[in-house]
């Protein structure tokens, strides 16, 4: 336990960052606003996972990182996630490709994908990640992706590292990774639900 706490790995950093966001959401009602810069920093930490996935997912990394970067840049003028939505609602640009509200929706998908992926990781002992990753992808992202993207992802799944290779790259053991994935799963869900509520409370459906 103590050893785990001392060793800061990419997974620890992710778990910690999302626990901080979750803490903000649990605070008094008036304070329940996520700052865009803090949110983006947490989202950036997720990028290290891409480095573990191999070249097949380079295109996903480029897409995700650029969306987080655009959001981060907007934090100089928009303080909170709410501000992003309000601006796009006012300009009628919520679903326009490249808009910040659309980027936020996609980044949210990425966070959810990782959450479900971790859940899959914890419920299987498979030494290959293909099935777990495919299930997570089918559940979270596939319904919203074009045929081209889905095909590239399916192809990439075959090139994923094995379970042990992933643990090694993340500098974790089964036990330490399990605990940190659980922490991310628990902390990210309220954040994901909070983001969904931002859209729903403005009468924006989530079917895109």
Which residue reads 């605990």 in tokens? 179
CB 187 within 8 A of CB 19: yes
Q: With contacts defined by CB under 6 A, name the span among 1-9, 11-19, 60-68, 188-196 that binds ligand 1PZ.
A: 60-68
Which H helix or E strand runs over 88?
A: helix 81-91
Residues in the chain: 208
- The 139-158 contact track toward ligand 1PZ, x by CB under 6 A, reads --x---x---x---x-----
Provide, rounded to whole angstroms, the least separation between the CB of residue 31 and ligand 1PZ: 29
104 binds ligand 1PZ per the rule CB under 6 A? no
CB 123 within 8 A of CB 151: no
195 binds ligand 1PZ per the rule CB under 6 A? no
Can you tell me which of 35, 69, 72, 106 binds ligand 1PZ, judged by CB under 6 A?
A: 106
Burial of 76 (0-12, 13-18, 19+ CB in 10 A): exposed
108/194 with CB nearer ligand 1PZ: 108
CA-closest candidate to residue 89, choices 102, 98, 107: 102
Give residues in contact with ligand 1PZ (CB under 6 A). Answer: 49-50, 53, 57, 59-60, 63-64, 97, 102, 106, 109-110, 113-114, 117, 129, 133, 137, 141, 145, 149, 153, 160
């Amino acid at each position: 336990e103590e050893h785990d706490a001392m060793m800061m790995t990419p997974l620890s950093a992710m778990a910690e960052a999302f626990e901080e966001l979750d803490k903000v959401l649990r605070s008094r009602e008036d304070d329940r606003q996520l700052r865009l810069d803090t949110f983006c920093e947490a989202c950036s930490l997720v990028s290290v996972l891409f480095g573990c996935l191999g070249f097949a997912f380079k295109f996903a990394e480029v897409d995700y990182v650029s969306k987080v970067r655009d959001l981060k840049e907007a934090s100089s003028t928009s303080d909170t996630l709410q501000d992003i939505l309000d601006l796009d609602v006012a300009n009628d640009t919520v679903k326009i490709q490249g808009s910040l509200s659309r980027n936020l929706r996609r980044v949210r998908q990425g966070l959810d994908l990782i959450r479900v992926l971790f859940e899959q990781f914890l419920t299987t002992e498979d030494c290959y990640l293909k099935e777990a990753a495919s299930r997570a992808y089918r559940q979270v992202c596939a319904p919203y992706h074009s045929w081209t993207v889905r095909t590239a992802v399916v192809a990439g799944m075959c090139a994923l590292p094995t379970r042990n290779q992933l643990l090694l790259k993340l500098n974790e053991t089964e036990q330490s990774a399990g605990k940190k994935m659980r922490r991310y799963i628990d902390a990210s869900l309220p954040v994901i639900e909070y983001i969904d509520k931002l859209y729903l409370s403005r009468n924006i459906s989530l079917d895109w």
